[in-house]
């Protein structure tokens, strides 16, 4: 057992990507022999052997921590965080340089923090993916509409940063009803009323607003909860996973898709560029711009989170829709190339394990403790 105690405060109970990562990091540290206890804010004690150093790993927004309380309890305080645009929100800054160190999952994150004036040590601790759960041997999700069709799959929360409007517009404009192609979108809203029917209605109205009245290739929207087994099968259903995201700290669905043997088509900017390559993916060019440009354009159909992404100096990527359309068509016309890229992605992901993440996080903890001596 480690000579120090780690208390992890984070969204370990949530079903989101943050929740998945939080649980996986805790388990990975434990496999490295680290004594980790999951915290619940003020109710969590750090009692025990007084000779052991006590480390808090804080996996919440840095603006929320009570530093006075934390410093009274812990010898070392490390922030584990992720970010998507070129700069972090301004309201993070008063607290973020008070941490002893910061762990982020990608080079993109580290650069965003440095751009924002973060001065404390930053360690890159990548996410992992369970290649046994997400694998080419998984049974495909049974979906009648996909029979005989080349299927694009996309998995994302229904928010503006994910750029659902570019995905839909490119698909509708490029493929007609005569093309044997299908787009399957697994998504979710962020409020009780943002259910599957609400999302479908937003998509229907957007199509009308674009002036598209002719029959187009079909779109299947799944806005309800799916069990893990169905999610595994969803990735296997697709010949290509496509998401023209405006920014990702990591892009967990990209990892999951590649581990499943399904190649990715994505914007060539963000945390996912640590593991997406031209050998395992279709990379779409982009330009950087202020989030306010797209938020105010009239094309936005999903939740914007302006309080996070519309701050001064922030930028994210706007995909080249013409290139996206051409690459979707090219993938459709070259299914063998998709299989080759998917096989390469599967091999690449065998190295992106949560055990590696646990090893690197343990190293970050111990280096931070040593520096504090």
315-334 pLDDT per residue, tens: 999 999 999 999 999 999 99
Token digits of residue 224: 């309800």
Distances from the Cα of 185 to the Cα of 158, 167, 188, 333, angstroms: 10, 10, 10, 21
Q: Which residues contact 278 (CB under 8 A, 6 or more apart)?
A: none
Under the banding of pLDDT at 50, 70 and 90, the label for residue 44 is very low
Answer whether residue 298 shows pLDDT above 80: yes
Report the C-alpha dihedral over residues 108, 111, 113, 119, rounded to 10 degrees: 140
286-298 mean pLDDT: 96
Give the residue from 285, 286, 288, 287 showing the smallest Cα distance to 313: 288
- In angstroms, the CA 270 to CA 279 distance is 18
pLDDT given at position 281: 98
Q: Counting Cβ atoms within 10 Å, is residue 213 exposed (0-12), middle (13-18) or buried (19+)? A: exposed
Residue with tokens 């650069």: 111
Q: Looking at the predicted structure, is the pLDDT value of residue 18 above 90? A: no
- Name the pLDDT band for 46 (thresholds 50, 70, 90): low
Residue with more model confidence, 274 or 298: 274
For residue 6, what are the CA distances in angstroms to 102, 144, 279?
15, 48, 39
As given in the structure block, the two tokens for residue 4 are 């120090």
Q: Which domains does the chain have, with CATH numbers?
A: 4-128+354-372 (3.40.50.11930), 144-350 (3.40.50.2000)
What are the pLDDT digits (tens) for 72-92?
999 999 999 999 999 999 999
pTM: 0.94
- 174-209 pLDDT, tens digit each: 999 999 999 999 999 999 999 999 999 999 999 999
Calculate mean pLDDT across residues 113-128.
97
* Positive or negative: CA dihedral 96, 100, 103, 107: positive
Query: Which DSSP string do the residues of 244-260 spell out, in sequence order?
Result: --S--SS-HHHHHHHHT
Give the orientation angle of helix 17-31 with respect to helix 252-259, to 10 degrees.
Answer: 70
pLDDT at 1 over 60: no
Contacts of 362 (CB under 8 A, 6+ apart): 2, 29, 32, 34
* Helix, strand, coil in percent for the chain, rounding step 5: 40, 20, 40
Percent of the chain residues topping a pLDDT of 70? 97
pLDDT at 243 over 70: yes
Residue 287 has pLDDT above 70, yes or no: yes
Mean pLDDT of the chain: 94
pLDDT beyond 50 at 43? no
- The more confidently predicted of residues 155 and 48 is 155
């Amino acid at each position: 057992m480690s000579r120090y105690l780690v208390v992890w405060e984070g969204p370990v109970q949530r079903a989101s990507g943050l929740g998945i990562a939080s649980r996986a990091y805790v388990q990975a540290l434990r496999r490295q022999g680290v004594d980790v206890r999951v915290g619940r804010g003020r109710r969590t004690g750090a009692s025990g052997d007084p000779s052991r150093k006590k480390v808090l790993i804080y996996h919440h927004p840095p603006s929320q921590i009570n530093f006075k309380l934390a410093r009274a309890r812990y010898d070392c305080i490390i922030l584990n965080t992720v970010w998507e645009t070129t700069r972090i929100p301004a309201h993070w800054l008063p607290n973020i340089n008070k941490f002893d160190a910061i762990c982020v999952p990608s080079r993109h994150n580290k650069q965003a923090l440095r751009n924002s004036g973060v001065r404390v040590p930053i360690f890159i601790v990548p996410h992992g993916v369970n290649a046994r759960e997400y694998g080419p041997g998984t049974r495909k999700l049974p979906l009648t509409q996909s029979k005989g069709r080349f299927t694009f799959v996309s998995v994302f929360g229904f928010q503006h940063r994910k750029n659902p409007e570019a995905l839909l517009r490119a698909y509708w404009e490029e493929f007609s009803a005569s093309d044997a192609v299908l787009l399957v979108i697994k998504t979710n809203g962020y409020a009780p009323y943002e259910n599957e029917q609400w999302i479908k209605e937003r998509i229907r109205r957007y199509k009308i607003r674009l002036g598209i009245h002719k029959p187009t290739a079909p779109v299947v929207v799944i806005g309800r909860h799916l069990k893990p087994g169905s999610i595994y099968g969803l990735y296997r259903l697709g010949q290509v996973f496509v998401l023209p995201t405006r920014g990702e700290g990591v892009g967990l669905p990209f990892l999951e898709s590649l581990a499943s043997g399904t190649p990715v088509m994505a914007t060539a900017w963000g945390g996912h560029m640590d593991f997406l390559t031209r050998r395992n993916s279709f990379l779409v060019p982009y330009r950087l711009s202020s989030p306010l440009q797209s938020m105010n354009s009239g094309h936005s159909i999903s939740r914007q989170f302006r309080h996070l992404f519309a701050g001064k100096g922030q930028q994210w990527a706007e995909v080249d829709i013409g290139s996206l359309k051409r690459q979707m068509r090219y993938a459709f016309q070259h299914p063998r190339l998709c299989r080759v890229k998917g096989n390469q992605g599967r091999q690449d992901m065998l190295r992106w394990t949560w055990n590696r993440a646990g090893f690197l996080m343990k190293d970050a903890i111990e280096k931070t403790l040593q520096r504090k001596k």
